[in-house]
C-alpha cells in the first residue's frame, strides 16, 4: 500500500517538478498572466466606458472585469501543455510509445488521472496566488459572502472534474482517429468558447446560450465564475451544482468504457 502511494505521488509530481526545474517556464507563465490580466482589465473597462457604465447582460463593469480576470487566472488549472515533455496521448500514439502505458504495473487510466491531478494542483497554486494579488490590487471584486465563496469553490471543483473528462474524451478519440491534430485544435477552441473563457456567455445571443445549456462546457468555467461574481444568484446554485455532478457521473461511465475499448486497439509486437 505504501509503495502504491509512493508511486502515485511520483506520477502526480511530474508536472510540478518539471516546472520548478525549468525556471524560465515559471518566468514566462508569470509574464504571460500579468500581460493578459492587464489587457483584459483595459479591454473590459474600455468597453464599458464606450457604452456607458450601466449593467450589460446582467453584469456591471466590475463584475465583467472580475469575471475576465478570473478566467485568465484559471488558465493554469485548465490543462498544461505536455508537448514539450512528449507525454500527450497524441504524441505517444504517433511514436508508438503508448504501448508502455499498458505494460506498466500502473494502469493507464490511473496514470492519466494522476498526471491530471498533478497538473491541476500545480495550476491551483498559480490561481490562488493570482487571486490574492488581484484582490489586493482591486482587479477582482471580493465574493459577496462566505457562502458565495464556498459554493463557487465547490462549483469550480466540479467544473474541473467535468473538464478533466472532456479532455480525456478528446484524448481517447485519438485511439480511433490517430492523426487528428487539426480536429483536436478545433475541439479545444470550441471548448474554450463554450466554456466562457473568451467572454461571459451572458453576452452571446439567446440561441447560443440555449445551445450551450445542453452541453457540458459551460459547467467547467462559466458557472463557477458566474456564481462568484453574482450573475447566478446563490438561490439558483443547487440546480447548477446538480447539473455539474450529473455530467461527472455520465462522463465517468463513458470514459471507463472507452478506456477498455482503447486497450483492445493497442498491439504489442516483438514481445
The per-residue pLDDT of the chain, averaged, comes to 86
Residue 52 included in any domain: yes
Distance CA 242, CA 150 (A): 16
Residue 17 included in any domain: yes
pLDDT of 87: 73
pLDDT digits (tens, 9 = 90+) for 59-114: 888 999 999 999 999 988 887 666 656 677 777 777 778 887 787 888 888 888 88
The count of domains in the chain is 1
Distance CA 130, CA 123 (A): 11
Most confident region among 83-92, 151-160, 204-213 by mean pLDDT: 151-160
pLDDT digits (tens, 9 = 90+) for 111-148: 888 888 888 889 999 999 999 999 999 999 999 999 99
Per-residue cell: 248 = 461527472
Query: What range does the domain containing 253 cover?
Result: 2-265
**Greater confidence, 265 or 131?**
131
DSSP codes of every residue in the chain: -HHHHHHHHHHHTHHHHHHHT-HHHHHHHHHHHHHHHHHHHHHHHHHHHHH-SS-BTTB-HHHHHHHHHHHHHTGGGG----TTTT-SHHHHHHHTTTHHHHHSSS-HHHHHHHHHHHHHHHHHHHHHHHHHHHHHHTSSPPPSSHHHHHHHHHHHHHHHHHHHHHHHHHHHHHHHHSS-HHHHHHHHHHHHHHHTSSS-GGGS-HHHHHHHHTSSGGGTTHHHHHHHHTSS-GGGHHHHHHHHHHHHHHHHHHHHHHHHHHHHH------
Residue 271 included in any domain: no
Residue 226 included in any domain: yes
Residue 36 included in any domain: yes
Residue 270 included in any domain: no
pLDDT of 238: 96
Nearest to 217 by CA among 255, 270, 265, 169: 169
Per-residue cell: 65 = 472585469
Of the listed ranges 138-152, 156-170, 182-196, the one predicted with least confidence: 182-196
Residue 84 included in any domain: yes
Per-residue cell: 152 = 463557487
- The torsion angles phi and psi of 230, rounded to 5 degrees, stand at 95, 5
pTM for the whole structure: 0.89
Number of Cβ atoms within 10 Å of the Cβ of 168:
21
Amino acid at each position: 500500500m505504501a509503495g502504491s502511494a509512493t508511486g502515485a505521488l511520483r506520477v502526480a509530481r511530474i508536472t510540478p517538478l518539471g516546472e520548478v526545474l525549468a525556471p524560465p517556464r515559471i518566468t514566462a507563465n508569470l509574464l504571460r498572466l500579468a500581460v493578459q490580466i492587464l489587457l483584459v482589465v483595459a479591454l473590459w473597462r474600455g468597453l464599458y466606458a464606450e457604452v456607458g457604465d450601466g449593467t450589460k447582460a446582467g453584469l456591471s463593469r466590475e463584475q465583467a472585469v472580475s469575471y475576465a480576470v478570473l478566467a485568465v487566472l484559471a488558465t493554469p488549472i485548465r490543462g498544461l501543455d505536455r508537448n514539450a515533455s512528449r507525454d500527450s496521448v497524441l504524441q505517444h500514439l504517433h511514436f508508438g510509445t503508448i504501448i508502455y502505458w499498458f505494460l506498466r504495473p500502473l494502469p493507464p487510466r490511473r496514470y492519466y488521472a494522476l498526471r491530471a491531478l498533478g497538473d491541476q494542483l500545480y495550476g491551483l497554486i498559480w490561481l490562488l496566488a493570482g487571486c490574492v494579488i488581484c484582490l489586493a490590487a482591486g482587479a477582482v471584486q471580493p465574493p459577496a459572502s462566505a457562502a458565495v465563496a464556498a459554493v463557487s469553490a465547490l462549483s469550480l471543483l466540479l467544473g474541473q472534474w467535468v473538464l478533466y473528462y472532456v479532455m480525456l474524451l478528446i484524448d481517447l478519440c485519438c485511439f480511433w482517429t490517430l492523426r487528428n491534430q487539426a480536429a483536436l485544435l478545433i475541439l479545444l477552441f470550441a471548448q474554450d468558447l463554450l466554456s466562457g473563457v473568451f467572454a461571459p456567455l451572458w453576452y452571446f445571443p439567446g440561441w447560443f446560450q440555449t445551445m450551450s445549456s445542453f452541453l457540458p462546457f459551460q459547467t467547467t468555467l462559466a458557472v463557477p465564475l458566474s456564481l462568484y461574481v453574482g450573475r447566478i444568484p446563490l438561490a439558483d446554485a443547487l440546480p447548477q451544482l446538480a447539473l455539474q455532478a450529473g455530467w461527472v457521473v455520465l462522463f465517468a461511465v463513458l470514459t471507463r468504457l472507452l478506456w477498455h475499448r482503447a486497450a483492445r486497439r493497442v498491439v504489442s509486437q516483438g514481445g
